[in-house]
Structure 1
C-alpha cells in the first residue's frame, strides 16, 4: 500500500479509491494516534465532522462518524460547511480533532478526508504517518481497542455551527461593505449558504450564482476553476466585483467590474498593502510560493514589503508563517491564509477582506489590483524525462544560466519536477510574452536533451 496521505489529506474517486471501509478505518486510527499523542488525555474526546455537498459525502460522513464513535470519541456533526469553517469550529469549540470530507476543486466523483488537530490545525507529516501505520497494522491483523457500554462515543448534530462561523467572519472585518454590489459564485459547494449570509450581514448587495448544490453539480463549470459565468454576471448586473470559491471554499479568486480576473497573487498584494496600513502585517512580510508571478515580488519590493518564497503548496506557506509569526500568506491559485483569523486558507474570509478594502478606499478593485503588474508567464510540461536529475545536470544548469542572463532582472526561470508524474515543468516569466515563449521553448528542448 502506497502512502495514503497526499499534500492535502487522503483523496481519490469515492467508492473506488476512497471507500467507506477506508474512511471508517482511518477515522479509528486517527482517534488512536491522537489519543496516544496525549491529545485526548484526561478527558472524553470530541470531534467536529463536516462535509461538502457531494453525494458521496453522505455515506463517507456516516463511515467517519461510526469510526470515531466506535473509538470512544463524541461527534459534533456540523453538516455541509466549508473546510475553514470546520477548522474554525474545531478550535472554537475546544474539540480534539476535526474531520472534513471534501475533494476541494476536484470533479464530483472524487472525495477526500482532511483531519485537523486540536485548535483546528492541519496534522504534521509525522502524525499522518502514524495514522497510516496504525491503520496498516489493523489491516494485517492487529485488533482495535474498542470501548463498550458508556465508553462509546455519542453523536449529535451541531446546527449552531453555521451561525457561529458567519458571526466570526463578520466580526473580524475592519469595516462594512455597505454600498457595494457583489456577485458570488459558490461553485454549488460548501459555502452556498455561508458566503451569501456573511456578505449580506456585512452590508453588501448580492447577486448569487452557483449556489444550488444537488450533490452532483459541485465545481461543474462554475466556481474558482471556471470564471466565465462570474465574469458575465458581473458585467450583466453592473456589479463592483465578483468573488468565486471552489467546492470547499478554501480558495478565492475575484473579478473586477470590467470582468477582468484578479488572481491570488493580486489579492495577496491588495491585502498586504491594506494590512500594513493598519499595522496588521507583522514584520511587513508576506509569504507566497516560488510559483508566484514575478510581478508580485517586484510590487512588494516597491511597496517596501518583504516577500518570502516557499515550495509549492499552501501547507508550506502555513509552516513558514507559523514558524516566524507572519500574518499573511497564500498562493496564486487563491489559497490565502490570514493567520490572525484562520488556521487555513479561507475563501470566504479572503473575499470579505478584499471587498472591505474596496469599500474602505472607494477605489475600484481594478485600480487596487494595479498595485502589481502580472508579467507574462509561460509554463511548458516536458514528459518522459528523468526528473530526479533536474538539479544535478551540468548541461541543464548551463542552459538555465544562459536564459537568466538573457532575461535579466525583469524575468525569471523555474524548473520544477512534478510530484506525481515523470515530467519536468518549465516556467518562464518575462516582460514580453514572445520572449517568454522563446526562452521556455529553448529550455524545454534543453530538458529533453539533458534528461531524456
Structure 2
C-alpha cells in the first residue's frame, strides 16, 4: 500500500480508491492515534464532520461517522458546508477533531477525507503518518480496541453550524457591502447556500449561478476552474464584480465589471494594500509560492511590501505564515489565507474582503487589480524525462543561466519537477508573450535533450 495522505488529505475515485471501508478505517485509526497523544485526556472526545454535496459524500460521511462513534467519539454532523466552515467550527466548538469529505475542484467521481486537529488546524504530517501506520496494522490483523455500553460515541445533527459560520464571516468584515452588485458562481458545491447568504447579509445585491447542487453537477463546467459562465453573467447583469468558488469553497477567483479575470495574485495584491492601510499586514509581508507571477512581486516592491516565497502548495504557505507570524498568504490559483480569521484558505471570506475593499474605496475592481500588472507567462510540460536530474544537469543549468541573462530583471524562469508524473514543468515570464514563448520552447528542448 502506497502512502495514502497527499498534500490535502486522502483522495481518489469514490468507491474505487476511496471506499467506505477505507473511510471508516481511517476514522477509527485517527481516533486511536489522537487518544494516544493525549488529545482526549480528561474529557469525552468530540468531532465535527462535514461534506460537500457529491453523491458519494453521503455514504462516505456515514462511514466516517460510524468509525468515529465506534471508537468512542461523539459526532456533530454539520452537513453540506465549505471546508473552511468545518475548520472554523472545529475550533469554535472546542472539538478535538474535524473531518471534511471533499475533493475540492476535482470532478464529481472523486472524493476525499481531510482531517483537522483541535483548533481547526491542519493535521501534522507526523500524525498523518501514525494514522496510516495504525490503519495498515489493522488491515494486517491487529484488532481495534472497541468501547461498549456508554463508551460508544453519540451522533447528532448540528444545524446551527450554518448560521454560526455565516455570523463569523460577517463579524470580521471591516465594512458593509451596500451598493455593490455581485454575481456568485458556487460551482454547484459546498458554498451554494453559505456564500449568497453571507454576501446578502453584508448588504450586497446578489445574483447566483451554479448554486443548485444535485450531487452530480459539482464543478461541472462552472466554478473557479471554468470562468466563462461567470464572465458572461457579470456583464449581462451589469454587476460590479463576480466571485467564483471551487467545490469545497476554499478558493476564490474574481471577475471585474467588464468580464476580465482577476486571479489569486491580483486578489492578494488588493488585500495586501487594504490590510497595510488598515494596519493589519503583520511584518509588512505577504507569503506566496514560487509560481506567483513576477508582476506580483514587482507590484509589492513598488508598494514597499515584502514577499516571502515558498514551495508550491497552500500547506507550505500556511506553514511559513504560522512559523513567522504573517497575516496574509496564498496562491495564484485562488487559495488565500487570512490567518487572523481563518486557519485555512477560505473562498467566501476572500470574496467578502475583496468586495469590502471595493465598497470602502469606491474604486472599481479593475482599477484596484491594476496595482499589479500580470506579465505574460508560458508553461510547458516536458514528459518522459528523468525529473530527478533537474538540479544536477550542467547542460540545463547553462541554458537557464543564458535564458535569465536574456530576460533580465523583467523576466523569470522556473523549472519544476512534477510531484506525481515523470515530467518537468518549464515556466517562463517575460514582458511580451512572444519572448516568453520563444525562451520557453528553447528551454523545453534542452530539458528533452539533457534529461530524456
> Normalising to structure 2: TM-score of the pair?
1.00
1:90 alignment partner in structure 2? 90
**Cα offset for 1:38?**
1.1
Between 38-47 and 337-346, the greater mean CA deviation after superposition = 38-47
| Secondary structure of the structure 2 residue equivalent to 1:380 | strand
Q: Distance in 1 between matches of 2:427 and 2:208?
A: 36
| Secondary structure of the structure 1 residue equivalent to 2:119 | coil
**Cα offset for 1:8?**
0.3
1:210 alignment partner in structure 2? 210
How do residues 259-278 of structure 1 correspond to structure 2 at under 5 angstroms? 259-278=259-278
Q: Deviations over 1:231-270 (max 9, x none)?
A: 0000000000000000000000000000000000000000
How do residues 177-188 of structure 1 correspond to structure 2 at under 5 angstroms? 177-188=177-188
2:74 alignment partner in structure 1? 74
**Cα offset for 1:41?**
1.0
How do residues 215-294 of structure 1 correspond to structure 2 at under 5 angstroms? 215-294=215-294
**Cα offset for 1:212?**
0.4
**Cα offset for 1:403?**
0.3
**Cα offset for 1:278?**
0.4
Q: Distance in 2 between matches of 1:42 and 1:142?
A: 26
Aligned: 1:334 with 2:306: no
1:447 alignment partner in structure 2? 447
Q: Distance in 1 between matches of 2:72 and 2:53?
A: 27
2:434 alignment partner in structure 1? 434
Q: Distance in 2 between matches of 1:276 and 1:145?
A: 52
**Cα offset for 1:381?**
0.4
2:102 alignment partner in structure 1? 102
Q: Deviations over 1:206-250 (max 9, x none)?
A: 101111000000000100000000000000000000000000000
Q: Distance in 2 between matches of 1:438 and 1:209?
A: 39
Q: Distance in 2 between matches of 1:126 and 1:412?
A: 35
> Normalising to structure 1: TM-score of the pair?
1.00
Q: Distance in 2 between matches of 1:445 and 1:160?
A: 57
Aligned residues: 452
1:315 alignment partner in structure 2? 315
Calculate the aligned-residue CA RMSD, in Å: 0.3
Aligned: 1:58 with 2:55: no
Q: Deviations over 1:357-403 (max 9, x none)?
A: 00000000000000000000000000000000000111110000000
Q: Distance in 1 between matches of 2:194 and 2:223?
A: 15
**Cα offset for 1:124?**
1.2
1:386 alignment partner in structure 2? 386
Q: For structure 1, which runs of at least 5 residues remain unmatched after alignment?
A: none
How do residues 4-15 of structure 1 correspond to structure 2 at under 5 angstroms? 4-15=4-15
1:369 alignment partner in structure 2? 369
**Cα offset for 1:195?**
0.3
Aligned: 1:20 with 2:24: no
2:44 alignment partner in structure 1? 44
| Secondary structure of the structure 1 residue equivalent to 2:255 | strand
**Cα offset for 1:139?**
0.2
Q: Deviations over 1:3-38 (max 9, x none)?
A: 000110000000000000000000000001111111
Q: Distance in 2 between matches of 1:41 and 1:386?
A: 49
Q: Distance in 2 between matches of 1:325 and 1:361?
A: 28
Q: Distance in 2 between matches of 1:407 and 1:33?
A: 52
**Cα offset for 1:412?**
0.2
Q: Deviations over 1:97-132 (max 9, x none)?
A: 000000000000000000000000011111110000
Q: Distance in 1 between matches of 2:87 and 2:38?
A: 20
